[in-house]
């Protein structure tokens, strides 16, 4: 199982590369985690660096999950004993490792982003149709309420709902590993947004477009 260890380690390290932290330090001389929401993700990067660099952050965060699930797995999968592990499961595990790296980045004190885009990238390599529909739901919720956090949470729960309907109602050929992964994704996204949920309930969550403010550290 040396190949599996390599896949998971490489995926975690790839996920730990935080473009929002790196770019905020290079371009503004500050750590993005000391501004706005204190989160090292796309939304806070847009508030601090603007839309152009926020788009760069978003692309890299998605690419981390996708590359872990697709390319890193493909590169080392041949060394895994196929009698015990199937490829879909390994791709899912690689994606989870990349997400873990994004949230708990080893390069920046184990404090990173919330993992939404990296999750999307990982799932994109395994279930592109579901990701597309989840993204559409995200856009609708965001367009109506202007809260990225709310759109992310609702969009993440659309994923397991779709997978369950496809497998257990429509009898589609959906891997059972993907069923459990979809539930994990929704729970993880909800957990990492727990502070946003509290702010939403209190009416204190910032709508997209408001500028970031520096925090005292």
Structure confidence by residue, pLDDT tens digits, 169-215: 998 888 888 899 899 889 989 998 999 999 999 999 988 876 555 54
pLDDT at residue 49 is higher than 60: yes
Q: What residue has token string 């597309």? A: 132
Using pLDDT thresholds of 50, 70 and 90, give the confidence band for residue 164.
very high
What percent of the chain has a predicted confidence (pLDDT) above 90? Answer: 65
Tokens of 171: 């009898």
Using pLDDT thresholds of 50, 70 and 90, give the confidence band for residue 3.
confident
103 class by beta-carbon count within 10 Å (0-12 exposed, 13-18 middle, 19+ buried): buried
DSSP collapsed to 3 states, 2-39: HHHHHHHHHHHHHHHCCHHHHHHHHHHCCCHHHECCCC
Name which of 70, 72, 67 is nearest 4 in CA terms. Answer: 72
- Which pLDDT belongs to residue 21? 96
On whether the CB atoms of residues 44 and 50 are closer than 8 A, the answer is no
The domains of the chain are located at 1-126, 128-210
pLDDT tens-digit series, residues 113-148: 988 899 889 988 888 888 899 999 999 999 999 999
pLDDT at residue 15 is higher than 60: yes
- Which pLDDT belongs to residue 210? 65
Using pLDDT thresholds of 50, 70 and 90, give the confidence band for residue 81.
low
Tokens of 196: 């946003």
User: What is the enclosing helix (H) or strand (E) of 215?
Assistant: none
CA distance 123 to 196: 23
Handedness of CA 28, 109, 121, 171 (dihedral sign): negative
CA distance 10 to 65: 12
Can you give the pTM of this predicted structure?
Answer: 0.79
Helix-, strand-, coil-residue percentages of the chain, each rounded to 5: 75, 0, 25
- Which pLDDT belongs to residue 131? 86
Distances 140 to 67, 128, 135, 176 between C-alpha atoms, Å:
27, 19, 9, 29
- Which pLDDT belongs to residue 217? 33
- Which pLDDT belongs to residue 87? 81
103: which residues sit within 8 A by CB, 6+ positions away? 112, 113, 114, 115, 192
């Amino acid at each position: 199982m040396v190949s599996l260890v390599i896949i998971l380690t490489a995926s975690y390290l790839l996920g730990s590369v935080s473009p929002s932290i790196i770019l905020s330090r290079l371009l503004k001389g500050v750590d993005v985690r000391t501004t706005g929401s204190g989160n090292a993700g796309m939304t806070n990067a847009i508030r601090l660096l603007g839309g152009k660099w926020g788009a760069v952050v978003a692309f890299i965060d998605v690419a981390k999950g996708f590359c872990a699930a697709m390319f890193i797995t493909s590169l080392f999968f041949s060394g895994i004993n196929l009698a015990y592990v199937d490829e879909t499961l390994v791709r899912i595990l690689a994606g989870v490792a990349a997400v873990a790296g994004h949230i708990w980045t080893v390069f920046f004190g184990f404090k990173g982003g919330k993992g939404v885009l990296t999750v999307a990238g990982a799932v994109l390599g395994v279930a592109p149709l579901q990701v597309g529909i989840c993204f559409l739901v995200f856009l609708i919720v965001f367009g109506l309420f202007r809260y990225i956090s709310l759109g992310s949470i609702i969009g993440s729960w659309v994923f397991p709902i779709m997978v369950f309907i496809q497998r257990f109602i429509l009898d589609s050929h959906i891997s059972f590993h993907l069923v459990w992964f979809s539930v994990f994704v929704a729970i993880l996204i909800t957990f990492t947004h727990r502070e946003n949920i509290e702010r939403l309930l209190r009416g204190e969550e910032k709508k997209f477009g408001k500028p970031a403010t520096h925090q005292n550290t």
